[in-house]
Amino acid sequence: MIKPKRLKKGDKIAIVSLSWGGLGDENFIHKFYIAKERLEKDFGLEVICMPNALKGSKFIAQHPELRAKDLMDAFLDKTISAIFCAIGGEDTIRILPYIDLEIIKNNPKIFMGYSDSTINHFMMYKAGLISFYGPSIMCEFGEYIKMFDYTQSAVNDVLFGEWNKYPLLPSPEWTDDYISWEESNINTSHVMKKDIHGYEVINGFGIVKGHLLGGCIDVFMMANCTEIWPSLKEWKNSILFIETSEDKPSPEFIKWTLRNLAAQGILKELSGIIVGKPQGEVFYEEYKTAIKDVVVNEEKLVKLPIFYNINFGHAKPIGIIPYGIIAELNCEEKIITFLENPTVQ
């Protein structure tokens, strides 16, 4: 896998809207200005928007080819060091016909987003580029009052940091409150709770290693059978990371999707599984039961390590999961460790 250059102060980052275009809507654009100021002041980055990123949800919905052009042009622009997604959505898959994987491969740089951006990450993975399942502009960088400390540290550590090993630690606190995106709420802060679970190991034992591959499980079936869906060989010895969206899919949906992965032969190829904290801890226990029903009871993978309640994706707060790097799961110590830096000097 190709590693992009790590970020440094003064680098230019580009914002793209590859799915929902709400960042440019009149009632939401204040989120862009919050995120832009934060990226510039807190992280020392220069922020630009690609030409179509702020044209609004209606325009973005009508022009998947221009969304793709923004992405391709951002990769081709030698002055741009990283590409951050505005937010997820539900139709990133529509840009696939307009994507040139060779452009991505030949112009490596940091790409970050989550949720529906899982589709984009599969593109990056197919092109051989390590990418970053992490914060978006509207949600995390555009958070009212302040960015979550856990998330800010993850950005500094994973995108800017230089290290050989990195422990992915659980957040000591979380929140399930909902603050609607209205300018009248810009001074409203989240009420945080102490996390009483930590990382849970719900199956398996020992210490395993594997390359990280996955995303938002809601999106998997949109990528399945397309050119960007990882082959069985690419899944071999991987650590599958999965999380659920703000739609809070039913436990039955989780079962059905895992059964599909089982039918493809994917589950038997895995070294381990890590599962994100469900947003608001909705279906917290039910998801565990659904996962174990398929992996353990149906597929008899009783030794396969499964870590649960990890802070990534739609949880609050979230960290960053780099696609493609080798990670280690230590079941006895309940520790997740990145065994290689996902960036280069």
Distance separating alpha carbons of residues 205 and 207, to the nearest angstrom: 7
Q: Which segments within 171-291 are labelled E, that is strand? A: 173-174, 193-194, 200-203, 207-216, 238-243, 272-276
Domains and their CATH numbers in the chain: 12-160 (3.40.50.10740), 166-338 (3.50.30.60)
Residue closest to 338 by CA, chosen among 181, 165, 176, 173: 165
pLDDT given at position 318 = 98
pLDDT given at position 162 = 97
> Average of pLDDT values for 56-60?
98
> Average of pLDDT values for 26-44?
98
pLDDT digits (tens, 9 = 90+) for 272-331: 999 999 999 999 999 999 999 999 999 999 999 999 999 999 999 999 999 999 999 999
337 bridge partner residues: 167, 328
pLDDT given at position 308 = 98
Q: Residue 342 — pLDDT band, cuts 50, 70, 90?
A: very high
Token duo for residue 188:
């409203």
> Average of pLDDT values for 69-88?
98
pLDDT given at position 186 = 97
Secondary structure class of 250 (helix, strand, coil): coil
Question: What's the Cα-to-Cα distance from 120 to each of 96, 177, 246, 324, 329, rounded to whole Å?
Answer: 9, 29, 19, 14, 26
pLDDT digits (tens, 9 = 90+) for 109-129: 999 999 999 999 999 999 999
pLDDT digits (tens, 9 = 90+) for 79-120: 999 999 999 999 999 999 999 999 999 999 999 999 999 999
β-bridge pairing 321-322 and 132-133: antiparallel
CB contact at 8 A, 16 and 124: no
Token duo for residue 263:
């039918």
Residue closest to 199 by CA, chosen among 112, 117, 312: 312
pLDDT digits (tens, 9 = 90+) for 227-285: 999 999 999 999 999 999 999 999 999 999 999 999 999 999 999 999 999 999 999 99
85 bridge partner residues: 16
- Burial of residue 252, with CB atoms counted within 10 A of its CB: 0-12 exposed, 13-18 middle, 19 or more buried: exposed
Question: What's the Cα-to-Cα distance from 216 to each of 85, 114, 134, 229, 312, rounded to whole Å?
Answer: 15, 7, 11, 13, 10
A 10 A CB-CB count for 147 gives 22
